[in-house]
Amino acid sequence: MAGERVKLEVETREAHGSAEARRLRARGMIPGVLYGSGKKAASFSVPERELRRVLTGEHGRHAILDVVVGEAKATHHAVLKDFQLHPTRSRILHIDLQEVRLDRPIQAQVAVELVGESEGQKMGGVLTQITREVNVEALPMEVPDRLELDISAMQIGDSLRLADLVAPENVTLLDSEDVVLAAVSAPRVEEEPEPTEEELEGLEEGEAPEGEAGEAPEGEGGEPAADAGESAEE
C-alpha cells in the first residue's frame, strides 16, 4: 500500500516556454505542473536528483507526495499523474502532479505481478502475461503498489482474467471482469522445412540426398572400397 507520504520540495516557476524549460534542464531542474482540487494550475521546478529519489522509492509512482511549494512552504497532497521522458535518454523532461484529498478516492493504474510457476510451464507450456496494469479506485493512502496474481494452478490452455484477481479491501477494480491477464499455451512445434525446388529437381534426376546411400563406402584408412569388378580383374 502507498500508506507512506514523501516530502517533495519544489520552487515556483514564473517563466514558461520551451526555451525556459531547456534552461532549467541545463541546471539539473525539471519543469512541472501541479493541478487539481479546483485551483489554478501551479507551475514549478524540482531538482532532477530529488525527483528521482521520490519516484524510485518504496512506493514508486504510487507514493503520496507532500509537495512543499516555494518560500510560502504551503503543503499540497499530490500524486504523480503523468511524466514525459526523453525519447533516447533515460531522463525526465516534464512532470504533472495532481493534488488530491486524502479522504476522497482516486483512480490509478496498478501493475499486476504474476506469482509462482504454473503447472503448464512445468509441462513445457509457454506463459504469457497479456495485461500488465489494471485500473483501480481507492483512497490515496490505500492504492496498492501492485496486485499479485497466483498462477501456480494454471494448466496448458488455461487463462486467468480480472475476475480471478483478488483486490485488497476498499480497492475497486474498474476494468471488465473478462479482461485476460495471463495465459499458458502449448509449446510451439517446429515443422520440418519443405524442400526447395532445386532440391526436388535434384531428387528427380537421381541424386541421393546428402548423407544417404549412393556414396561409395569407405574402406580401411578412409579410402573408397574397391567394387566387385575391380576385385575380379585383380
Delimit the CATH 2.40.240.10 region(s) of the chain.
Answer: 5-100
- As a residue count, the chain comes to 234
> What was the pLDDT predicted at 195?
67
> What was the pLDDT predicted at 210?
54
What is the topology classification, in CATH, of domain 5-100? Ribosomal Protein L25; Chain P (2.40.240)
Give the residue-averaged pLDDT of 107-132.
Answer: 95
State pTM to two decimals: 0.69
**Average pLDDT score, the chain:** 82
According to the 3-state scheme, what is the secondary structure of the chain? CCCCEEEEEEEECCCCCHHHHHHHHHCCEEEEEEEECCEEEEEEEEEHHHHHHHHCCCCHHHCEEEEEECCCCEEEEEEEEEEEECCCCCCEEEEEEEECCCCCCEEEEEEEEEECCCHHHHCCCEEEECCCEEEEEECHHHCCCEEEEECCCCCCCCEEEHHHCCCCCCCEECCCCCCEEEEEECCCCCCCCCCCHHHHHHHHCCCCCCCCECECCECHHHCECCCHHHHHHC
**With bands split at pLDDT 50, 70 and 90, how would you rate the model's confidence at 217?**
low
> What was the pLDDT predicted at 148?
96
Delimit the CATH 2.170.120.20 region(s) of the chain.
Answer: 107-185
pLDDT digits (tens, 9 = 90+) for 172-200: 999 999 999 999 999 876 666 676 666 66
**With bands split at pLDDT 50, 70 and 90, how would you rate the model's confidence at 232?**
very low
What is the topology classification, in CATH, of domain 107-185? RNA Polymerase Alpha Subunit; Chain A, domain 2 (2.170.120)
